[in-house]
Amino acid sequence: MTANLLNFDLEGLAAFCEGLGEKRFRATQLFRWIHQRGASDFDQMTDLARSLREKLKTRAHVAALPVISEHISADGTIKWLFDVGDGNAIEAVFIPEDDRGTLCVSSQAGCAVGCRFCSTGHQGFSRNLSTSEILAQLWFAEHSLRQRQGTSERVISNVVMMGMGEPLQNYTALLPALRVMLDDHAYGLSRRRVTVSTSGVVPFIEKLAADCPVALAVSLHAPDDALRDQLVPLNRKYPLDELLATCHRYLASAPRDFITFEYCMLDGVNDSEQQARQLVDLVLRHSNGRTGWCKFNLIPFNPFPASGLVRSPREAVQLFANVLVSAGIVTTIRKTRGDDIDAACGQLAGDVKDRTFVAQRITAQRAKPVQIPIRSGPSESPRNARRTIQ
């Protein structure tokens, strides 16, 4: 069986070349051909010795993932559905903007975390992706976009590991993929422009800080453990105080001077003014009274029938943001992109065989509605007093 060279970072490719009896510098040449030029035919790699090209033809290949479908949104967002075998399909999304091109990449076929507001989580989990399957999404998107735009310049300037799956639960495959994204002989992306999004896998946040610190985004979604236990089940293992302390320590290695906290706005569940004040208190408690160490990204919920949840009204989102901003916390409200093709945040579902029965567990949980009381403050409306998640 031949090796897919998309599976290797530069060190791994150098070891592979040495195994063929070749010098390590050949790996750098090969790396550039694959990632910078998008070549998959070894005969195209004209500065490689003919003897090496012949060896590669029998021992290696460069393979993208089969594309099942492509959908283009009215706003220019592109979503690809890729076949990863055994009845599983994953999604990647390209978001063009005036000053950047962002690719949202999947790390797993499905997701085992089971967040209540995420369509991927409701579909269940099949398996981790390999390094080659993670990188194949970037390799295909970058070079196909260059071809259709008629340019040799880089099209994708930012990568966010925010597609299907929990990246840090697939750390062994994620780490070499990140190193390829950052390598100047490959995509040459800045650490500030590669973001790993996590629901809070504390031990691997610490490993990422030591091994390959890139920008970090943490899916928070609640100001207290009782609510976050319901929305993000991983919180039962790594509660908020432990997670926030780890995030604050990550700053010592981070390429930016802040951590991004993602917060999906759910009507009557986590969007009250009092809960915004609780978030401020949480941030202050972990930073000796400083608020500048983090940024909040408020995300309009993208509804899907199985969630039993509703998007917060625009007015509620703005009031929530005002509380954070007044406390000195940089806060943005994410603009929804690609929702007409189900490519917006929380909508990526692909098609996976749920071997962990996550979907069944969520369905059983929804059969027992859970009321989450929210302590009322004088400025709160009755709408925010209580919400039943069902």
pTM (two decimals): 0.89
Establish whether 380 is a catalytic residue: no
Encode pLDDT of 242-283 as tens digits.
999 999 999 999 999 999 999 999 999 999 999 999 999 999
Establish whether 91 is a catalytic residue: yes
The answer to whether residues 202 and 243 touch, using CB atoms and an 8 Å cutoff, is yes
Of 104, 118, 247, 345, which one is the catalytic site residue? Answer: 345
Place 120 in a pLDDT band, splitting at 50, 70 and 90: confident
What is the mean pLDDT of the segment spanning 222-238?
Answer: 97
Burial of 222 (0-12, 13-18, 19+ CB in 10 A): buried
Residues 175 and 273 in one domain: yes
d(C-alpha 184, C-alpha 187), whole Å = 6
Q: How many domains does the chain have?
A: 2
pLDDT over threshold 90, residue 315: yes
We report the CATH number of the domain holding residue 7 as: 1.10.150.530
Residues 19 and 121 in one domain: no
- For the chain, give the mean pLDDT: 89
Place 311 in a pLDDT band, splitting at 50, 70 and 90: very high
Of 17, 22, 91, 247, which one is the catalytic site residue? Answer: 91
Q: What is the DSSP letter of 382?
A: G
- Helices H, strands E: what count in the chain? 12, 16
| H/E segment holding residue 233 | none
d(C-alpha 275, C-alpha 289), whole Å = 18
We report the CATH number of the domain holding residue 368 as: 3.20.20.70
Residue count of the chain: 390
Q: Which domain holds residue 310?
A: 67-389
Residues 31 and 179 in one domain: no
d(C-alpha 244, C-alpha 224), whole Å = 12
Place 380 in a pLDDT band, splitting at 50, 70 and 90: very low
Residues 144 and 276 in one domain: yes
pLDDT at 382: 38
| H/E segment holding residue 92 | strand 88-96
